[in-house]
Structure formats: C-alpha cells, structure tokens
C-alpha cells in the first residue's frame, strides 16, 4: 500500500513531520498530490486525500458525544465502566482513536497502539490540534500514542492495564452502507487484521482485569472464546471478558 502513497508538503506544513513520515515509508516528499493516496502537510495539520475525498481526524467533533451527560449513553463507556480510580487502558488497535476518545473521556489514561505509520501520524496530529480546544484538551491529554505492533507492546507490559480494548474489525466484513465515506479512505491504508487471534491471546497474557472486543453484530467470537457478557447495538456489539 505504501507504494501508492505520496507525502505532499505545502506552505505552513510541518517539514520535520513530513520528512519523518517520508523516511519511514521510503518515499520522497512532493509538492503536489499523487493519483491515489496523499498525506498532505499544510497549515491545517495533516490530512489524507484521494479518490475525491479528504480526511482529517477531528476529536472536537466528538465533544458533543461525551458532554452534558451523554457519555453514560455510549455503549463503549458502559463496557469499560469501573468503580476504580487511576484507570489505565491500552487500545491495541487505535486507528483514528475515536473509541479511545470515549475511553479517555470516561477517565482512563489510554495508550493507543497503532502499527500503520500514516494512521499513527494522522492520529498524533488530531490529538495535537484537539489539545488547543479547552473542551477536549483534558480528554486528549490522557491519550498517548505508541507507534508499533501491539503484540510487542503487550508482551512488555510491566503493569497490567485495567482494560485492553480491541477493535480489529476487518473492513470488508462491514456492510458498505455503514462505512462513512471518509473512513473508506482510511481503510485503504489498513492491512487486513490477519493476526486478530494472536492479538487476543497477547491481550490475555498481558493480565488485564478486562478485555473489551468490538465485533460486527453477527460475527463469531474472537478466537472462539465466549465473553462473560455482551453489550449489543444495531450494527456492532462489545464482547466483555472479565478476569
């Protein structure tokens, strides 16, 4: 996939960030967009463009979901509910961090692990911009991005987290009507999450109090393991494993 990616630096864009990402992907920096996917660094931050679409992570748009008592209606907030304080979570499949935002809004310090360097760069940029918004800054201040493979991260966890969150949904399994057009762009970057069973085993081995797995509503349990309880919505469900 990285062969199709162009890194485009425009006026006001973060040159160091563009250089770092271009080096990681082994591609040159360009001053124009490519034919397929382009990561544009300009004065608005980072955006992913292509196929007539443009996508930029936007946590400010999520503030409404977690304010004025609405957080308690979020199914994911119910899934990670805890009576304890000083909560720590690992989101082992961070993506653009929208689910991690809900977990952080609940009060968890969240380590967001993302293996794809383009998604990790877009995610870090979205967090950086949201820190400027007074209504989002405390929440995103609890979100810490780790770029790399979560199986590796989980294997060196010294202190077991309270919650490990997994959302390895392979996009092709979702009904296309459910996929937001902008997310379709992000999904072009993602490799199929081939090792979801291995990831689940690594999560168990890390010794958390709870593992929450997001699944398409009708799909089988991850690794064939029955959860202790399930929270179901219209299109997805959260399988909760308590230890």
Ligand X SMILES: C[S@@+](CC[C@H](N)C(=O)[O-])C[C@H]1O[C@@H](n2cnc3c(N)ncnc32)[C@H](O)[C@@H]1O
**Applying CB under 6 A, which residues contact ligand X?**
93, 95-99, 113-116, 119, 149-151, 167-169, 190, 193, 195, 199
Minimum distance from residue 198 beta carbon to ligand X (Å) = 8
Minimum distance from residue 165 beta carbon to ligand X (Å) = 8
Of 76 and 87, CB closest to ligand X: 76
Please, what sign has the CA dihedral across residues 24, 26, 32, 35? negative
Alpha-carbon span 216 to 171, nearest angstrom: 10
Minimum distance from residue 28 beta carbon to ligand X (Å) = 24
H/E segment holding residue 239: strand 236-242
Of 82 and 187, CB closest to ligand X: 187
Burial class of residue 37 in the structure, from the number of CB atoms within 10 Å of its CB (0-12 exposed, 13-18 middle, 19+ buried):
buried
Of 29 and 231, CB closest to ligand X: 231
For the chain, how far is it from start to end, CA to CA, in angstroms?
38
Q: Where are the alpha helices (DSSP H) in the chain?
A: 15-25, 63-66, 75-79, 98-106, 117-130, 137-140, 150-155, 181-187, 196-205
Minimum distance from residue 55 beta carbon to ligand X (Å) = 12
Of 9 and 196, CB closest to ligand X: 196
Minimum distance from residue 15 beta carbon to ligand X (Å) = 25
Q: How many residues does the chain have?
A: 243
Alpha-carbon span 110 to 190, nearest angstrom: 22
Q: Residue with the closest Cβ to ligand X?
A: 95
Of 54 and 155, CB closest to ligand X: 155
């Amino acid at each position: 996939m990285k062969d199709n990616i162009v890194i485009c630096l425009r006026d006001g864009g973060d040159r160091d960030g563009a250089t770092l990402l271009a080096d990681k992907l082994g591609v040159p920096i360009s001053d124009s967009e490519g034919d397929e996917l382009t990561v544009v660094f300009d004065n608005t931050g980072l955006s992913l463009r292509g196929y007539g679409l443009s996508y930029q992570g936007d946590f400010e748009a999520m503030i409404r979901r977690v304010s004025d008592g609405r957080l308690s209606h979020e199914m994911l907030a119910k899934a990670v509910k805890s009576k304890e304080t000083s909560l720590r979570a690992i989101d082992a499949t961070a993506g653009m961090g929208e689910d991690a935002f809900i977990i952080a809004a609940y009060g968890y310090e969240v380590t967001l692990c993302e293996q794809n360097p383009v998604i990790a760069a877009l995610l870090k940029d979205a967090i950086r911009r949201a820190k400027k918004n007074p209504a989002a800054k405390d929440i995103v201040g609890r979100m810490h991005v780790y770029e790399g493979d979560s199986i590796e991260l989980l294997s060196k966890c010294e202190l077991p987290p309270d919650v490990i969150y997994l959302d390895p949904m392979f996009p092709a399994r979702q009904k296309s009507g459910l996929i937001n057009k902008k997310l379709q762009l992000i999904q072009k970057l993602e490799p199929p999450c081939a090792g979801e069973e291995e990831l689940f085993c690594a999560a168990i081995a890390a010794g958390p109090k709870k593992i929450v797995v997001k699944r398409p509503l009708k799909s089988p349990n991850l690794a064939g393991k029955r959860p202790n309880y399930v929270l179901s919505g219209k299109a997805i469900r959260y399988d909760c494993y308590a230890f």
